[in-house]
Amino acid sequence: MPEIDEALIELLRPLVRDLVREEVERAKLGLRWVPVKKAAEQLGISEAALRQRVKAGSVPGKNVEGRVYVDMLEHDHRIGRLR
């Protein structure tokens, strides 16, 4: 029986690894694209100011069906490059 268990583990290992990788990517996307309200709170500025910055292109973001989302990952990368 132990050899069956080991064989099963070896068969499942790549499947589990792929599932974990997919879930991590989904979580990153959820943290990456943040609604303007939450992003404004995190950045300590008003929603209006943040919307203007996204529109001007100084903060990475996009408008999806009338809702503004900020790419916090890209924003953090840009800030890091400035330092």
Encode burial over 61-73: b for 16+ CB neighbours within 10 A, e otherwise. beeeeeebbbbbe
pLDDT per position as a tens digit, 13-36: 998 898 888 777 766 666 788 999
State the maximum Cα–Cα separation within the chain, in Å, rounded to a whole number.
65
pLDDT band for position 77 (50/70/90)? confident
Q: What is the mean pLDDT of residues 47-72?
A: 94
Where in the chain are the domains?
2-82
pTM over 0.75: no
Query: Do 32 and 73 form a contact (C-beta atoms < 8 A)?
Result: yes
For every residue of 39-50, DSSP letters joined together read HHHHHTS-HHHH
Query: Do 7 and 45 form a contact (C-beta atoms < 8 A)?
Result: no
Looking at residue 79, its pLDDT comes to: 80
